[in-house]
Amino acid sequence: MDYSRKIAERLWNQQDKGELESHREETFMDDIVQKSHIEKELLANLEGVKTVFDGGAGCGRFSILLAKRGCQVTHFDISQPMIDKARELAEKEGVLEQITFVKGALEDLSAYQDRSFDLVMSFDSPISYTYPNQEKVISELVRIAKKKICISVTSRLGSLPYLSNPIQKNQFILDENCEDSFVRWCVENKKNSMEQFQFHPENLDKLMKEGLMGGEWEIEEYERGGTPWCITYSFMPDELKTILEKCGVSSIRLAGPGAYARTLPRKILVKIMNNPTWRREFLEFSYKYDSNPYVCGMGKDNLLAYGEIV
């Protein structure tokens, strides 16, 4: 088994992962925008969709949404804590019957026949965590799709600004006083992170050229018994489009959820989010702006692709 899969397995199988991930939209505004964008994309393309495969489905943000819309969903994930959390949330929403939970790795989809699901989806980077198998995984996801595919992977252009911005997440904190452990970390380390900042253009050039975040250090840390972040492959927009085209996907559209939100200062974003009407209108406008192909590389850190199977 390669290191990407072993590292992802250890990281995502930490006991508190499901609980922590299920609160993301309450704490960070870029996550709110991204979730809203994906929901709008899915709901706009549900015609003719009865069966769905969600690869790396986490705690069920989108599998539960589609089960509530009457779809039969296979919720597939490498992590038992994420599946357990998703099951708990699905029960609360009354859609347990419509979801089949499967523990497995995207690197092996051999259990599924060609064209098994009307819609195949995978959001917020599980594909990027399968390096060096990301292309093969995409082609396998396309293979098991009958009508539509919708995926979001780590965006190279969207990730590059983070390398020069150690306080990237502070910009999107909704409530600086909330108890969330990651929010507390961001707030308490802000001053220190700014003071210790050093500009490393060589790291920018390397990521721009190779697309890979993580590698040797993560492998060594894993071997020491630690739990490093996943080795993550980031895609360029044209690269992702070409891979999908090669697999026979047509009518491909790319988007960069979060691109518009990136242009606003935090205090304005907080004002908008705390006003229910503005929040709804802002999320609607962001969906349109972020769907423009000219901004697709500049979303939060995800690149979204929708396409149809010929």
Residue ranges that bind ligand SAM, judged by CB under 6 A: 5, 8, 12, 56-58, 61, 77-79, 82, 105-107, 123-126, 129-130
* CB-nearest residue to ligand SAM: 58
Q: How far is the CB of 38 from ligand SAM (least distance, A)?
A: 7
C-alpha 248/C-alpha 229 separation (Å) is 32
C-alpha 190/C-alpha 185 separation (Å) is 8
Nearer to ligand SAM, 72 or 164 (CB): 72
Nearer to ligand SAM, 12 or 306 (CB): 12
Closest CA relative to residue 4, chosen from 128, 123, 104: 128
Cis peptide before 132 (omega within 30 of 0): yes
Q: How far is the CB of 89 from ligand SAM (least distance, A)?
A: 11
SS3 (DSSP) at 170: helix
* Residues 234/128, Cβ–Cβ less than 8 Å: yes
Task: Annotate 126-154 with three-state secondary structure.
Answer: HHHHHCCCHHHHHHHHHHCEEEEEEEEEE
Provide Rg for the chain, Cα atoms: 19
Q: How far is the CB of 104 from ligand SAM (least distance, A)?
A: 7
Token pair of 39 as six digits:
């929901």
Q: How far is the CB of 192 from ligand SAM (least distance, A)?
A: 26
Nearer to ligand SAM, 56 or 307 (CB): 56
Nearer to ligand SAM, 17 or 156 (CB): 17
Nearer to ligand SAM, 8 or 49 (CB): 8
SS3 (DSSP) at 48: coil
Q: How far is the CB of 150 from ligand SAM (least distance, A)?
A: 11
Q: How far is the CB of 161 from ligand SAM (least distance, A)?
A: 19
Helix axes 237-246, 134-143, angle to 10 degrees: 50
Nearer to ligand SAM, 74 or 130 (CB): 130
Nearer to ligand SAM, 61 or 156 (CB): 61
* Phi/psi at 216 (5° precision): -60, -45
* Phi/psi at 95 (5° precision): -125, 20
Q: How far is the CB of 83 from ligand SAM (least distance, A)?
A: 8
